[in-house]
Structure 1
Amino acid sequence: MTCALPAAAACLVAALVPALHPLGEVVAALAGLLTAAVLWTTGRAADRSARPWRLLAAAALFPVTGLLVSVLAAPSSLLEEVVLRWVVIVPGYVLAVVGLLGMVERAALRRTCPRAALELALFATAALVVMQALLVGPGNGWTALSPVARLVLGSAVVATAATMAAGLTVLGGVAAHRQRMAAVLFAGLVALCVGRGTGTSAALLGATDAVPATRVAVVVGLALLVLARLLDAAPASDPAAAGRAAQLRSVLPHLALVVVVGLVVVPLALGVVPTPVTLVGALLCVGLSAAHRWVAAREDHLRGARLRRDEAYFRSLAASTSEAVLVLDARLRVGWTSPALAALLGSTPADLAGRDLLSGRSAVDAADATALRLRLEAGEASGLLTLHVRDGAGGVRCLEASVSDLRADPAVASVVLHCRDVTERETRERALEELAFTDPLTGLPNRAGWEAALAGAVEGSAAGPAADAPGRALLLVDVCGLTEVREHADRDTVSGVLVELGRRLRATVRGDEVVARVAGGVFGVLVTGDGDTADRLADRCLAALERPVGTPAGVFDLTADVGVVVVEPGLSVGELTGRAETAVAAARAGGSARATRWTDALGAAAARRDRLREDLPGAAGRGELWLAFQPIVSMDEQRVVGVEALLRWRHPELGDVPPREFVPIAERAGVIGELQRWVLREATATAAGLPDSDGVPLRLGVNTSASHVAARTLVDDVAAALASSGLAPERLVLEVTEATLLDDGDFVAIDVQALRLMGVHVALDDFGTGTSSLLHLTRLPIDVLKLDRAFVSRVDRDAQSRALCEAVVTVGRALGVDVVAEGVETPAQLGVLRGLGLGFAQGFLLARPLPPADLLRVLREGAGSLWPGLVGLSHDVFPAAGGPPVRVVRGA
């Protein structure tokens, strides 16, 4: 294509300068060779679409061959030269026609309709007339020519007309994506035929000076052939160009008819009589045009009837379906509605047509219409949309619409909504939702409704509160005393009490605040206001709940613990609930009928408990647990006769964690059994290595939890610990609480009996707390009784405590049970207890819990002697029997 302009310019210059006429001939021949090369080499040889192009490439070589033949033959006259060339060129036109027809699929040729055939015949006839007039002239120029010249011009007229008709066939028969190529190809063929035909005519009619100018058209035509080949090899990228090419194919025959009419009228106006060929051709073109118009009118009529039938068919289908259809134009005005939609709304399609979906007159809810408009503007029209539509009776119908945005489709240019009436389904879903979110007993929101309300509060806080918008807070109310109601009344009474409590809470809060029954006797209140407002409301709720509740079964007094949490941005529903539960637990720990607001300190304590709960299971394996041993001293002998093993935990980050903090966590976490098995193994192993005290082996006391006893592994664990350590069973004392021994399960008595048969002693720990009774001492299978520090702490200043201690000592002596006083911290307490005849004591006055190394040093260096009266005044030492003074640890 880059060589086309220089070649055309060279031919034009050669036409203007007579001395350069041979240059134009050479340039045209080279252009033909180059065109043949491009048409042959472009595309793959195995591609079927390349075969017609190779035929055209071969056809482009025939004019070059004709030039060579005329040069080599050296004809004596111009007529002979023209004849020689056309004898060679005519087969090239035949080959070109075959190649052009090969570009069209055979099926497309067989499907040619009468209308297309008439268009092709009209164009071919017009092409013959035009080429005849162009090559011979409007007048009767045939008479001045010799028979040979007439034959040459006649063949030129037929060949060029046939070639252009074949080009028109390609333009109408190829696929849509090749229409652009076909249009360029047709233009190139017209240029070639006109150029070569007029050149031959000028040579035969004696106008040799005009022959070089025709080579410009030949070069342009060859260039267009090359361009068409390149377009056919490249994928189509302009669908509009294909449409324009199809329109050109329908218009060209009629343009040719106009030219033919002009060839008849203009010469007549100038006084020149057209040739018979022109007149006959013109009449034939007019007849073909009339036939074409009749066929076209008949096809249009049939097509219109078919379209009307199709429209009626699909309109009937749309009208018969139960699915309502709404068609909106680009401005969201109602263009068409199906009868089903009109009947649903109690109207007619004509009444709905033209209404603006966004106006106040529209039956569609304004919020839903706005949502539809926003989705269309955002390009998110796909999917389902819920529309609430007012019907003719004044009610509201709920429609589920699938939206199809077809505004980009020129055939539709509308938004189509396929709607289904889901009013009943929405009603059922709303009823199910109310059932799912409502507590059937109190009529308040249940836990799911409560969490939904919290989620709304969280979303509101996350969006950022306005300057004048109030804050939100929640109250978690845990009612206390319902267990007593269940014990003294039936289930209906408990339900009535819960209903009354819910009514009181509902009456205490404002109308727009949420009150929910979260679970059992736990209620939730979502408050509008800040933390101080929530605190005041919590006090009012407590006052309302503490009023006695009258029932047929009697009057019940209830209390509650309330946790208050302020809703802060960034908190989730789970975090709010966790904070509220932490605040309730803090209120319960601080005393009954309290309201506690969540603070960072409470959060830190909860986080500490969570951390301890996570780290406790593997503490023994990480070496964080250790045992301290508190000596038990004989009152009579004033020496150590036993030790109590106490579990300690040194956390690597939190430091020393007291037992009163981590033991309850271990029980709730279910790892107390694992910890106590570790204590048994370590304590028995340590006690087995302790020296005797004055020749008497020391006893080892180990605390046993109720969870360990309930796990039914205590006997096996004790046996395993004794076997691995080698400790004598009679040296082990298991300290069990009274509640554990009085458990209703038969296995407790069986396990305790099995332990005693093994030789292990059982001690009753913490006697004097809970439901302790002297009557139980006569029935419990115990060997040791340990007085709780609650008795001992007042024994030196409270006569009743002293009398109780004396009674316990007397009963113990009568039953043959050793009595040990715990928590002895002052000399006065120790003196009173010794005066009562108590046998054993332990406490800070005597010694604090000691690590094994310190305990071993006391037992070895002090010979086991440990008594406050032996403690030195300045250096805390006492003289060992027959030995130097020994330092001991005490807790006076």
Structure 2
Amino acid sequence: MQKLRWWLLGSVVPVGSACAVSAGTSGPGRLGDLALGALGIATAVVLWTAGRSAQSGWRGWRLFALAPLMPVVGLLAVTVAAPDSPLEQVALRWLPTVPGYVIAVVGILTLVAPSRLRGGPRPAVELALFLIACVLVVQVLVLGPDLSWLDLDPSGRAVLAAAVVVTSATVAAAVLLLGVIESRRQPMALVLLAATALLAPGRALGTSAMLTGEEAVGDVGRFLVAAGLVLLGAAVLLDPGPCPETRPQPHTGRSTHLRQLLPHLAMTVACFGAAAVSLTGHRISPVIAVGGSLCAVLAVLHRWLTAREEQHLGTRLRRSEAYFRSLVATSSDAVLILDGDLRVTWSSPTLGTTLGAADAVPAGADLLELVHPDDALSLARALQPAAGASAPAGVLRLRLRHTDGGWRHLEAGVSDLRSDTVVGAVVLHCRDTTERVAREQVLEQVAFTDPVTGLPNRAGCERLLEQALGADEPGCRSLLLIELDGLDAVREDAGRDVVTEVLVEVGRRLRATVRSSDAVTRVGGGAFAVLAEGTLQAVDLLADRCLSVIEQPLDTGAGVFDVSAAIGVVDLGAAESVPDLLTRAELAVRAAGAAGTGTALRYRPALGSAAERRARLREDLPGAWDRGELSVLFQPVVSLGERRVTGVEALLRWQHPELGEVPPAEFVPIAERAGVIGELQRWALTHAAAAVLTLPCTGAPLRLGVNISASHVAARTLVRDVAAVLQSTGLAPERLILEITEATLMSEGEHVAVDIEALRLMGVHVALDDFGTGRSSLAHLTRLPIDVLKLDHAFVLRVDRDPKARALCESVVSIAGALGLDVVAEGVETPAQLGALRAAGCGFAQGFLLARPMRPRELVDVLDNGAGQLWPGLVASR
């Protein structure tokens, strides 16, 4: 395509040179005619080649390509025939040229779809006006002011008349094409109109020169024809091809503003042509007079048709506007139109109905002054974005005042049409959401409020903490986490309703104790939280006051109850997030509870380190037995009568590769919470049983005691695990003693008693561990399925110096003996304790005084030394 443009442009130079040479020499302009013939052939090639890509088939440009060849045929006919008469030369040249112009007219009309050529009577009037005006101008140029159609013979008259009509029709077709062509092809149509406007007078002047013999007029005609042919080639090169759109042409038939002026321009040209003939002193022929009159009549008719169409169009527009206004007015969504300064230009009646008055949003009012003050800034940022940004495509929330003084909540969809030259405004499609917002607020109240105390619940507390942490200036704020102690006793004695009454009263007391700016929330069953402002010293004093009011007696319908509390205090500035803040508060309150009820402790990094240690142990404990980190130590159980070792208690030890030795009191609870206590105790049972079988014995075989956790018993796998260990190791069942706490044996559920009874039927002994701690009761000894009673270290601690403790110990030993139970005293650390226990009739003892926990090889040395005799020197036998 680029080569064609250069080729066409390059062809203008030789053609122009030939025309100039022809004008400067005497005689007929044969050189100029030959140059025009060559340019016509070149133009036909360009139209054919370029038109093939624009349209398919024998239509449009490919049909138009035949038109420039017809004048070349006429030139060849004149050259070959060489007629003598000028009129014969003109007739012979126009005979093939007239069909060429007819082909050109058809080619022009087929450049667009036929649907675009239909437009009612007005396009027909325009076409007639264009045609008559062109005919008048062209016939004047052809005949000149002196000749008349009557001066020609019939054959010449017919040929020239046909020439005048077809050239005028070509220009008229080009004008019609400009009015109906697609917008993107309008530059092509303008160039094509210019080409036909040059070709028509050029051919007319050439014909006039042949008839009159004026070579100067002929040279001008050749220049005009050459320019018209070049513009034809340029037009086809500018054509992007038919539009893919299928929308029909508008009813007016107009696609350019220029076409609105073309009918008047045609009439003006016709009138100026007639005036020019008159001003040159020639008589106006009847053809010119009739044609000018017809142009004037057609111009008036065209104006009347245009006015009628504009009236009909205005009626349709008003009807369409009324239709869409009715749709907008009856829509459930209100429409608000704003100008570039966010001033109201129009609002739908629906908005007035929503706000209680038609003038609730008056035209010209500033929207930012009408909305709620809290919404003005966000609305201004959204609707007046920074340079280069556009208005949001989402939903805006705003509040407008109702006539009753309240605020209505609206959701507005934004259509930013400020860049649209027709609209030039911001359109808000508003929907009333007041009722929905009210329901959401009620649901939010339910979701963030504790139904018992009416205080914010845990979710509400977290929201308050998020707001406090996200504040630009959080100030000095602290969180007090309060954990009540004693609610279980209230529930057991008086029931849940009284617990609710206690919680309500505690919440009331806390609310009355803190300042009005402090927030009190209930975050759990017996847990409250206070978000307080003030210095560290002021917050510590507030924590003491909270403890004081909680510890005051609570008068309820079921009586007076006493509860206490522990408080953990955390500074908000030390936490990065709400979960981190609550975790620190829980660590602090847990440490306060461990220190004793009625204690308030502030969080310190050491508490976080302890929590990190527990988390690390919880992560590393599973699989520790497979990694060889666990071991079993044995503490000898000595018969006080025989003074030798008669049994051992297996004790687990964990040697962490990084944290060192971890005591059982630390990792066993972690194993229970992590759910691996069953695997841990199965490993301990297996290794302890296998190790005991390798120990030497001189008398009765040593018995093995193993601690069993409550979680293992609750898992319902204890019987199966013990049976598997006995079968795999070969340990005799009567040598195994399972040490279980009283709370586990007394727990609810028939499965516990069934499992314990099954173990005893297998021959396994059951020991009641840690007797003397908690709520141990002598009455339970008659109901518990046990064989051995183990006295806790706390029970033995004062037996040597407290007569009451000694009397109680003697009573327990006497009752156990009457029930046929063996008694083992744990934690014996002094000879005095050992002597007192022996005097009380206790049968067995274990403790650091006798032997510390030892490895199997160390235990072998003890058993081999003196046939297992183990005694710490002289012990009184009082």
TM, length-normalised to structure 2? 0.90
Kept in 2: contact 1:385–1:402 (CA 8 A): yes
Q: Which moved more, 1:506-515 or 1:244-253?
A: 244-253
Match status 1:246 vs 2:253: no
1:235 Cα deviation after fit: 8.2
Q: Find the counterpart in structure 2 of residue 880 from structure 1.
A: none
Structure 1 counterpart of 2:786, from 757, 782, 785: 782
Q: Find the counterpart in structure 2 of residue 584 from structure 1.
A: 589
Q: Which moved more, 1:860-869 or 1:157-166?
A: 860-869
Q: Which moved more, 1:823-832 or 1:160-169?
A: 823-832
Q: Which moved more, 1:90-99 or 1:346-355?
A: 346-355
Kept in 2: contact 1:619–1:625 (CA 8 A): yes
Secondary structure at the aligned position of 2:400 is classed as strand
Q: Find the counterpart in structure 1 of residue 856 from structure 2.
A: 852
Q: Find the counterpart in structure 1 of residue 663 from structure 2.
A: 658
User: For residues 233 and 176 of structure 1, do their structure 2 counterparts lie closer, same or farther at Cα, with a shift above 3 Å needed?
Assistant: closer
Q: Find the counterpart in structure 2 of residue 488 from structure 1.
A: 493
Match status 1:476 vs 2:477: no
Structure 1 segment 662-681 matched on structure 2, within 5 A: 662-681=667-686
For residues 327 and 653 of structure 1, the distance between their equivalents in structure 2, rounded to whole angstroms, comes to 71
1:255 Cα deviation after fit: 1.0
Secondary structure at the aligned position of 1:58 is classed as coil
Match status 1:201 vs 2:212: no
Q: Find the counterpart in structure 1 of residue 771 from structure 2.
A: 767
The one-letter amino acid of 2:431's match is R
Q: Cα RMSD between the aligned structures? A: 3.2
For residues 488 and 529 of structure 2, the distance between their equivalents in structure 1, rounded to whole angstroms, comes to 20
Q: Find the counterpart in structure 1 of residue 61 from structure 2.
A: 53
Q: Find the counterpart in structure 1 of residue 74 from structure 2.
A: 66
Kept in 2: contact 1:458–1:569 (CA 8 A): no
Secondary structure at the aligned position of 1:246 is classed as coil
Query: What are the Cα deviations for residues 411-452 of structure 1, in whole angstroms up to 9, with x where unaligned?
Result: 322222233333333333323322332223322222332222
For residues 779 and 358 of structure 1, the distance between their equivalents in structure 2, rounded to whole angstroms, comes to 82
Q: Find the counterpart in structure 2 of residue 692 from structure 1.
A: 696
For residues 656 and 567 of structure 1, the distance between their equivalents in structure 2, rounded to whole angstroms, comes to 36
1:459 Cα deviation after fit: 2.5
Match status 1:740 vs 2:750: no
User: For residues 404 and 726 of structure 1, do their structure 2 counterparts lie closer, same or farther at Cα, with a shift above 3 Å needed?
Assistant: same
For residues 597 and 708 of structure 1, the distance between their equivalents in structure 2, rounded to whole angstroms, comes to 37
For residues 84 and 333 of structure 1, the distance between their equivalents in structure 2, rounded to whole angstroms, comes to 75
Query: What are the Cα deviations for residues 484-535 of structure 1, in whole angstroms up to 9, with x where unaligned?
Result: 2223335443333222211111122221221112222221211234544433
Structure 2 counterpart of 1:537, from 542, 551, 563: 542
Query: What are the Cα deviations for residues 684-709 of structure 1, in whole angstroms up to 9, with x where unaligned?
Result: 22223x13321432211111122222
Q: Which moved more, 1:656-665 or 1:211-220?
A: 211-220
User: For residues 809 and 405 of structure 1, do their structure 2 counterparts lie closer, same or farther at Cα, with a shift above 3 Å needed?
Assistant: same
Structure 2 counterpart of 1:502, from 503, 507, 523: 507
Secondary structure at the aligned position of 1:432 is classed as helix
For residues 259 and 251 of structure 1, the distance between their equivalents in structure 2, rounded to whole angstroms, comes to 12
Query: What are the Cα deviations for residues 631-652 of structure 1, in whole angstroms up to 9, with x where unaligned?
Result: 2233444433222111222334
User: For residues 494 and 741 of structure 1, do their structure 2 counterparts lie closer, same or farther at Cα, with a shift above 3 Å needed?
Assistant: closer
User: For residues 531 and 114 of structure 1, do their structure 2 counterparts lie closer, same or farther at Cα, with a shift above 3 Å needed?
Assistant: farther
Match status 1:125 vs 2:129: no
Q: Find the counterpart in structure 2 of residue 172 from structure 1.
A: 179
Secondary structure at the aligned position of 1:201 is classed as helix
Secondary structure at the aligned position of 1:358 is classed as helix
Query: What are the Cα deviations for residues 661-685 of structure 1, in whole angstroms up to 9, with x where unaligned?
Result: 1111222333323322222222222
For residues 822 and 491 of structure 2, the distance between their equivalents in structure 1, rounded to whole angstroms, comes to 42
Secondary structure at the aligned position of 1:403 is classed as strand
1:620 Cα deviation after fit: 3.2
Q: Which moved more, 1:405-414 or 1:515-524?
A: 405-414
Q: Find the counterpart in structure 2 of residue 601 from structure 1.
A: 606
For residues 752 and 373 of structure 2, the distance between their equivalents in structure 1, rounded to whole angstroms, comes to 73
For residues 309 and 361 of structure 2, the distance between their equivalents in structure 1, rounded to whole angstroms, comes to 37
Q: Find the counterpart in structure 1 of residue 416 from structure 2.
A: 405
Q: Which moved more, 1:660-669 or 1:798-807?
A: 798-807
Kept in 2: contact 1:29–1:64 (CA 8 A): yes
User: For residues 602 and 44 of structure 1, do their structure 2 counterparts lie closer, same or farther at Cα, with a shift above 3 Å needed?
Assistant: farther
For residues 369 and 215 of structure 1, the distance between their equivalents in structure 2, rounded to whole angstroms, comes to 73
Query: What are the Cα deviations for residues 197-219 of structure 1, in whole angstroms up to 9, with x where unaligned?
Result: 32232233212244344344333
Q: Find the counterpart in structure 1 of residue 364 from structure 2.
A: 354
Q: Which moved more, 1:693-702 or 1:417-426?
A: 417-426
Secondary structure at the aligned position of 2:849 is classed as coil
1:283 Cα deviation after fit: 0.8
1:389 Cα deviation after fit: 1.6
Structure 1 segment 125-204 matched on structure 2, within 5 A: 125-140=132-147, 150-204=157-211
Kept in 1: contact 2:55–2:241 (CA 8 A): no
For residues 484 and 785 of structure 1, the distance between their equivalents in structure 2, rounded to whole angstroms, comes to 29
Secondary structure at the aligned position of 2:65 is classed as helix
User: For residues 26 and 651 of structure 1, do their structure 2 counterparts lie closer, same or farther at Cα, with a shift above 3 Å needed?
Assistant: farther
User: For residues 22 and 334 of structure 1, do their structure 2 counterparts lie closer, same or farther at Cα, with a shift above 3 Å needed?
Assistant: same
The one-letter amino acid of 2:294's match is L
For residues 222 and 482 of structure 2, the distance between their equivalents in structure 1, rounded to whole angstroms, comes to 104
Secondary structure at the aligned position of 1:650 is classed as strand
The one-letter amino acid of 2:306's match is A
Gapped runs of 5+ residues in structure 2?
Answer: none
For residues 854 and 196 of structure 1, the distance between their equivalents in structure 2, rounded to whole angstroms, comes to 132
The one-letter amino acid of 1:656's match is E
User: For residues 408 and 636 of structure 1, do their structure 2 counterparts lie closer, same or farther at Cα, with a shift above 3 Å needed?
Assistant: same
For residues 819 and 493 of structure 2, the distance between their equivalents in structure 1, rounded to whole angstroms, comes to 39
For residues 451 and 458 of structure 1, the distance between their equivalents in structure 2, rounded to whole angstroms, comes to 10
Gapped runs of 5+ residues in structure 1?
Answer: 871-892
Structure 1 segment 514-593 matched on structure 2, within 5 A: 514-529=519-534, 531-568=536-573, 571-593=576-598
Q: Find the counterpart in structure 1 of residue 218 from structure 2.
A: 211
1:860 Cα deviation after fit: 5.3
Kept in 2: contact 1:43–1:50 (CA 8 A): no
Taking only the aligned residue pairs, the percentage that are identical comes to: 56
User: For residues 507 and 51 of structure 1, do their structure 2 counterparts lie closer, same or farther at Cα, with a shift above 3 Å needed?
Assistant: same
Structure 2 counterpart of 1:31, from 36, 39, 61: 39
The one-letter amino acid of 1:425's match is R
Structure 2 counterpart of 1:371, from 372, 378, 382: 378
Q: Which moved more, 1:693-702 or 1:790-799?
A: 790-799
Kept in 2: contact 1:386–1:398 (CA 8 A): yes
Match status 1:306 vs 2:313: no
Q: Find the counterpart in structure 1 of residue 21 from structure 2.
A: 17
Q: Find the counterpart in structure 2 of residue 640 from structure 1.
A: 645
User: For residues 826 and 233 of structure 1, do their structure 2 counterparts lie closer, same or farther at Cα, with a shift above 3 Å needed?
Assistant: same
Structure 1 segment 338-353 matched on structure 2, within 5 A: 338-349=348-359, 352-353=362-363
1:338 Cα deviation after fit: 2.5
Secondary structure at the aligned position of 1:59 is classed as coil
Secondary structure at the aligned position of 2:622 is classed as helix
Q: Find the counterpart in structure 1 of residue 235 from structure 2.
A: 228
Kept in 2: contact 1:474–1:564 (CA 8 A): yes
Kept in 1: contact 2:379–2:398 (CA 8 A): no
Structure 2 counterpart of 1:457, from 456, 465, 468: 468
1:142 Cα deviation after fit: 5.4
Kept in 1: contact 2:182–2:243 (CA 8 A): no
Match status 1:704 vs 2:708: yes
Kept in 2: contact 1:383–1:402 (CA 8 A): yes
User: For residues 710 and 266 of structure 1, do their structure 2 counterparts lie closer, same or farther at Cα, with a shift above 3 Å needed?
Assistant: same
User: For residues 843 and 414 of structure 1, do their structure 2 counterparts lie closer, same or farther at Cα, with a shift above 3 Å needed?
Assistant: same
Kept in 1: contact 2:18–2:35 (CA 8 A): no
The count of residues paired between Structure 1 and Structure 2 equals 857
Q: Which moved more, 1:491-500 or 1:694-703?
A: 491-500
For residues 263 and 43 of structure 1, the distance between their equivalents in structure 2, rounded to whole angstroms, comes to 36
Structure 1 counterpart of 2:762, from 747, 755, 758: 758
1:580 Cα deviation after fit: 2.0
Query: What are the Cα deviations for residues 442-484 of structure 1, in whole angstroms up to 9, with x where unaligned?
Result: 2222233222212222332xxxx44xx5133222211222222
